[in-house]
A and B are shown apart, each in its own frame.
Chain A
Amino acid sequence: MPELVAQNRYAVVAVILFGIGLLNLMLQQNLVKKVIGLSIMDSAIFMLLASLGYIEGHGAPIVEEGAVDASLYINPIPSGLVLTGIVVSVSVTAFSLALVQRIYQRYGTVELPELLERAKKEED
């Protein structure tokens, strides 16, 4: 069991980070902290993806002229996928933070219970 965990240490850490992020997202009452939890989940996914492409002892995938041998370099596909993921994560984070700022301008709070209370009072 310990050696199984040690073999996949990056994946195990990624899963734990994912759990921390999800718990943050669900339990925090502050909207900004919820967004932070979402970014922690994103980072966990990137870590898992990047570790999947790594091959021990191989170099970065910048192919030298002449010596084209696939067994010298790591797998480039997960790196490209992480790039895509980072862009989407940045966009989502910025958009949700903008929404939180608008909520703050409208209701004067980012704490969820107070926010619900004020929204309900306004509705009545």
Chain B
Amino acid sequence: MSERGGWKRFADWVNGETEAGDPTTQYVMDRRPARIQEAHELHEARERLRLKKFLGLYPLAAGLLCVVLIFILLSTVIYIPPFGQPGNPTNNEVSQHYLEKTVEETGASNAVTGMILCYRGFDTLGESCVLFLAVSSVMILLQRDRNNTGERAQLRMKREDAAERGHEDNILQKSAKLLIPFVFLFAAYVLMNGESSPGGGFSGGAILSGGLILYSVAFGPERLSRLLTRSLYSGVRVVGLMAYALTYGVYIFAGANGLSIDMEWMMTVIELAVGLVVACAIYGFYAMFQRGKI
């Protein structure tokens, strides 16, 4: 009985109902003086004065804060170990292990690639997810279609597109025709050879998206969107991220359980996957900011 009463009281409290059994609250609520309604203009003037005071004080306070912060940081920075010495505390046994064991344990002779794709692969997976989510949110914000664009804006966009199509840049098109195959070739080289030479998924993906953007600038976005349609774009993005997650999952599973699987091809797959995700992300940013659609 008392339990039920307690539950009822709790429910009443959650619902914000005042308790009938407690006369003091009721009394206080009743006796509270009515709120004095300020004149609207007076209120407005006071608010404006407050804002003016704030705006006058804010730059001073911000500048002072910055100067104090720089001073503190500088006085700290002077006492960190000198630049470029081998005995610095950052150059400890972890980096030594990475440098000495990378070839043996991961098959990659580029220690940075070996480190970010094998030893710290989950970190890089998280990074790819960050890029994926950034593109998705930029799409949510900037996507332009029939639902959120007025007729006038759409007409204006169509006019701009037509004007652009009418003025084809001959120099740009000729040089793009020459350059683009080499850009893609170089991107493929950087992607595939990332574990044995400078490069890797991120730089290769950036070069690949550079080629895509050059194509889009030179030959018009419509020609590119006929080749790289919306569904293909989304498919490549999702497949890249999934391939990374799956391959790295297998890698961790096999490594943790001592199974012998040749790891070298896994590195190449992961690198390709990262490259695709990065290329899609950067090209997606460009297309979204330029036209609002892929």
CB-contacts of A65-120 with B (<8 A): 65, 68-71, 73, 75-80, 83-84, 86-88, 90-92, 94-95, 97-99, 101-102, 113
Does chain A have a CB within 8 A of B227?
A: no
Whether the Cβ atoms of B95 and A84 lie closer than 8 Å is: no
Q: Closest approach, in angstroms, between the C-beta of A118 and any C-beta of chain B?
A: 14
Return chain B residues, CB-CB under 8 Å to A55: 84-86, 88, 91
Q: Closest approach, in angstroms, between the C-beta of B217 and any C-beta of chain A?
A: 18
Residue of A5, A12, A19, A102 near B69 (CB, 8 A) is: A19
Chain B contributes a number of interface residues (CB within 8 A of A) equal to 60
Query: Is chain B's binding surface mostly helix, strand, loop or mixed?
Result: helix
Chain A contributes a number of interface residues (CB within 8 A of B) equal to 58
Whether the Cβ atoms of B127 and A87 lie closer than 8 Å is: yes
The stretch among B20-28, B108-116, B232-240, B247-255 that forms the contact with chain A is B108-116
Return chain A residues, CB-CB under 8 Å to B282: 90
Whether the Cβ atoms of A15 and B73 lie closer than 8 Å is: yes
Whether the Cβ atoms of A102 and B141 lie closer than 8 Å is: yes
The stretch among B29-37, B99-107, B155-163, B170-178 that forms the contact with chain A is B99-107
The stretch among B6-14, B129-137, B179-187, B262-270 that forms the contact with chain A is B129-137
Alpha-carbon distance A79/B137, docked complex (angstroms): 28
Q: Closest approach, in angstroms, between the C-beta of B119 and any C-beta of chain A?
A: 9
Alpha-carbon distance A50/B205, docked complex (angstroms): 22
Residue of A7, A63, A84 near B102 (CB, 8 A) is: A63
Evaluate whether A12 and B288 lie within 8 angstroms (CB atoms) in the complex, with A23-B66, A91-B134 already known. Answer: no
Whether the Cβ atoms of B83 and A62 lie closer than 8 Å is: no
Evaluate whether A23 and B141 lie within 8 angstroms (CB atoms) in the complex, with A65-B109, A70-B99 already known. Answer: no
User: Closest 10 interchain pairs by CB?
Assistant: A91-B134, A56-B84, A61-B111, A19-B70, A7-B82, A26-B62, A76-B111, A70-B99, A98-B141, A70-B96
Residues of A with Cβ closer than 8 Å to B? 1, 4-5, 7-12, 14-16, 18-19, 22-23, 26-27, 51-56, 58, 60-65, 68-71, 73, 75-80, 83-84, 86-88, 90-92, 94-95, 97-99, 101-102, 113
